[in-house]
Each structure stands twice: as structure tokens, then as C-alpha cells.
A and B are shown apart, each in its own frame.
Chain A
Amino acid sequence: MIIVKDLSVERLDKKIFENINLSLASGCISILKGKNGSGKTTLLKTILNIIEPSAGSIYWKGKLIKKNLYDFYNNITYIADKTTSLNRLTVKDNINIWKKIFLSNISVSQIEKALKTLKLQDYLNQKVSTLSLGETKKLEFLRLIIENKKLWILDEPLSSLDEDSMELMKQTFEDHCSKEGSVIFSSHHNPGIYVTEEINL
């Protein structure tokens, strides 16, 4: 699905990482491991073509993503380590906005089910600013289900999650993989998610 060849990135004449190789087939999970400041977020952003690499190339389904950028973007969901939910609006409004801007054809019952598993159903009419950090994080993961894309790119998804949610994430990843999807995520440790490839930065 996605192939990264000899990728290097430089910032201010300083090498952040060099010669990263990665190949991800459909139905696979890969993890980026590394210390703080080792360039995990940079690598993910390079894959998203936000940061320009100093060398190397990235292919999506055999084509350079630079040349087929929006085709690539149509197939990915990116979750940053920031919360993109809008603070001033309620959880319900946020879900509505996401459903609309991503042109999602997900049904109401599906969302209710997902909310129930994420234990967010009681907060539906609360503003996002009143939620706790872990809860906003979980709300963010709702986007994975709403967008319903093939490739998930997640930046530090496991930080500030409790044990139950961690288990839930594991399950979600495995479900997604069984549906021919694939996942790249970054983390400084692996809490026991089955991964097909591990990249150490």
C-alpha cells in the first residue's frame, strides 16, 4: 500500500533521521518507536507530504504521492497529537461537523454504538472544553470511524489513555486490519499491540 524508500529529513542543516525504509501492505500495522525528539512526528508529516524530505521518495499504490496527492489524501485519516475537536461546540455538533465535512455516509446507529463503546454517550450535549484530556482524545478517535478511510496515520494515539481504552484501541486496530485497512502509529512503547513492522528511530 505505502512504500517509503531511503527517506531522510534535514532541518536547519541538522539531520533528523536518515534512510528510513518502510513498506506497509494492506491489513498490516506498523509502529514507529523512538525517544522524545527522535522525529516520529516529523516522519509522519513527511509521509503526509507536509514536510519536504531532503532525499528519498514515498509511493502510494505504486505511484509517487507527490504526483497523486489528493488521491492519497482521499484514503487516509490523520490524527495528530492535538485535539482537532472544536472547544466551544458540543460533542454532538462536532460529530455533525465531521460527518458533513468528510462527506461520511455513516449511519446514526453506528455512531451511537461507537460512542457507547468509547463511553462518551453521556457527554453528547456537553461542550468539548468540559471534557477531560482522555475523553477528548477518545472523541478524536471517533474521526477514524466517521472518515472510514483505508490508511490510518496516528501520532501518539496511546498517550493519556487508560487501560480499558488501550484495550479498545487494540481491538479497533485489529478490526480495521481484518477489513483490509492498515495503520501506522507512533509511540514510545508498545503496550502489546500485534504489529507487523517496527521502525526504530
Chain B
Amino acid sequence: MKFLNKIIFFYYREYKLNLSGFQDILTNIIFFFVSILIFIFSIGPDKEVISLIGVGMIWTLLLLSSTLSLRKFYQDDYENGNLLIIHLNGFSFGFIAILKTFSHFLFVQVPFLLSIPIACILLNIANDKLFYLFASFSIGSLILSCLGSISSSMNLMNQRNFLLGSVIVMIFSVPVIIFSVGIINMEESFNSLINILFGILLIVFAINPWASGLCLKLSLENN
């Protein structure tokens, strides 16, 4: 019970923290829409072409804009010592990674999830595809959060070259993109592809606490 309360109040803290910095999250979403704008201008406003490549475009831009906020993932808590305090409050590093991953999913990816319908309207994507986009992104974004946790914890001590973190996430998200966009283009094999996505989610979910926890411990140790 005590442990459960601690988890609940951890999220209370995350909520307060994200509420005070909600403009950061909003900036991510604005980046997403502005890049859609840029994309449309660069390929011309031809409706047919846009609805053809729209889904892939939305996925690419979602990936890019969600990697923008990666730096915030652990960096703030690490630099002001809160990570250590949370650890001393009774969470192992692996568990902190899991909690933080869900927090990233809730406060960064869910706003993107909510902005997908608007993007679909802007890009003339058929309504029946919206469901597939939703389903694939709700699983895919959780995978992205796990990958983000791994890469940003790896780069905590890396002061010189943080872009590396984004590159790591993008490299490992290649299969996610393949299968998620595959779902939307091949609706008849929805079940099998969504199962593959689930499988990838379980794999990264299993790796995440180990890899991130180890990296967090290392960074705190050598701070």
C-alpha cells in the first residue's frame, strides 16, 4: 500500500512538473503541425498525392517531434539531484525507468495521439484509416517511449553530442515504422501486424528497465 501510494505521488509530481512546463509539450505539437505545413508546401497541395503519402508522413513527423523532447527525459531530474532522491525514496533504478517511461507516454505521446485526428483532417486521410493510425500509434508511441528512455539514459553523461540520442531512437524505431505504416496500407493483415508490434513492444519493454537502469546507475555513480 505504501509502495502504491509512492507510485501515485510520483505521478502527481510528474503531473505538477509537466503542468508548469506545458508550453514545452505544446511546442512539440506546434513543431508537428508546422512540419506538416512545410511538407505540404514542399510536395505541392495535390490532394491525391497527399492522401497517398499522408499516413507515412504523419508517422515520420510524429517520430521526429517526439524525439525532440528526449533531452528532457532524465536530464532535468538528473542535474538537480531528484533522480537520486527518488531512488533513495525506495525505487530501484529499473523501476524508475519504467515509471518515467509511462510518464513520458502520458505527458508527451498522448498529446500527439490527440492531435492525430486534426492532422488527418488537414491531410485528407479517410476516416476508416484513422482507427488503424490510432491503434498503431498507441502501441508504437509506447515503444518510442521505451527507446527514448534507453537512449536518453545512455546520453546523460554525454555533454558534447546529444543529437546521438535522437539518432539512436530513430535507428531502432525503423521496424516500428515499417509495421505501423504496414498496418494502414494492408488493412486485411491488421491482426498479424498488430501482434508483431505488440511483440516488439514486449521486447523493448523487457530491455528498457535493464538498460536504462544500468545507465542511470552509472551516470549517478560517476557524477
Residue ranges of A at the interface with B (Cβ–Cβ < 8 Å): 11, 45, 48, 50-52, 70, 73-74, 76, 78, 80, 82-89, 93, 97, 100-103
Interface residues of B in 74-99 (CB under 8 A from A): 79-82, 84-90
- Enumerate chain A residues within 8 angstroms of B87, measured Cβ to Cβ: 50, 73
Q: A70 CA to B82 CA in the complex, in Å? A: 17
- Enumerate chain B residues within 8 angstroms of A93, measured Cβ to Cβ: 16
Interface secondary structure of B, over-half rule: helix
Q: A50 CA to B223 CA in the complex, in Å? A: 10
- Enumerate chain B residues within 8 angstroms of A85, measured Cβ to Cβ: 80
Residue of A50, A80, A93, A101 with most partner-chain B CB within 10 A: A101
Known: A50-B221, A101-B13. A84 touches B81 (CB 8 A): yes
9 CB < 8 A contacts A-B? A74-B90, A76-B88, A82-B79, A82-B80, A87-B80, A100-B12, A100-B13, A101-B10, A101-B86
- Enumerate chain B residues within 8 angstroms of A97, measured Cβ to Cβ: 9, 12-13, 16
Question: Considering only CB atoms, which chain A residue lies closest to B2 in the complex?
Answer: A103
Residue ranges of B at the interface with A (Cβ–Cβ < 8 Å): 2, 5-6, 9-10, 12-13, 16-17, 20-21, 79-82, 84-90, 217, 220-222
A50, A83, A100, A101: the one contacting B84 at CB < 8 Å is A50
Is B16 touching A101 in the complex (CB atoms < 8 A)?
A: no
Given A52-B221, A73-B88, A84-B81: 7 more A-B contacts, CB < 8 Å: A50-B221, A74-B90, A78-B85, A83-B80, A97-B9, A101-B89, A103-B5
Is A78 touching B88 in the complex (CB atoms < 8 A)?
A: yes
Is A101 touching B9 in the complex (CB atoms < 8 A)?
A: yes
Counting residue pairs across A and B whose Cβ atoms lie within 8 Å, the total is 64
Is A73 touching B89 in the complex (CB atoms < 8 A)?
A: yes
B6, B20, B85, B86: the one contacting A103 at CB < 8 Å is B6
Q: A133 CA to B91 CA in the complex, in Å? A: 29
Is B88 touching A88 in the complex (CB atoms < 8 A)?
A: no
Q: A45 CA to B219 CA in the complex, in Å? A: 13
The 8 closest A-B pairs by CB, nearest first: A82-B81, A100-B9, A88-B20, A80-B81, A84-B81, A101-B9, A97-B13, A73-B88
Interface secondary structure of A, over-half rule: loop
Q: A89 CA to B21 CA in the complex, in Å? A: 10
Question: Considering only CB atoms, which chain B residue lies closest to A48 in the complex?
Answer: B88
Question: Considering only CB atoms, which chain A residue lies closest to B217 in the complex?
Answer: A50
Q: A100 CA to B11 CA in the complex, in Å? A: 11
Is B220 touching A84 in the complex (CB atoms < 8 A)?
A: no
Q: A48 CA to B220 CA in the complex, in Å? A: 12
- Enumerate chain A residues within 8 angstroms of B5, measured Cβ to Cβ: 103
Question: Considering only CB atoms, which chain B residue lies closest to A69 in the complex?
Answer: B92
Q: A84 CA to B13 CA in the complex, in Å? A: 13
B16, B79, B90, B217: the one contacting A73 at CB < 8 Å is B90
Q: A51 CA to B84 CA in the complex, in Å? A: 12
Q: A93 CA to B2 CA in the complex, in Å? A: 22
Is A50 touching B220 in the complex (CB atoms < 8 A)?
A: yes
Q: A74 CA to B87 CA in the complex, in Å? A: 11
Is A103 touching B88 in the complex (CB atoms < 8 A)?
A: no
Is B88 touching A84 in the complex (CB atoms < 8 A)?
A: no
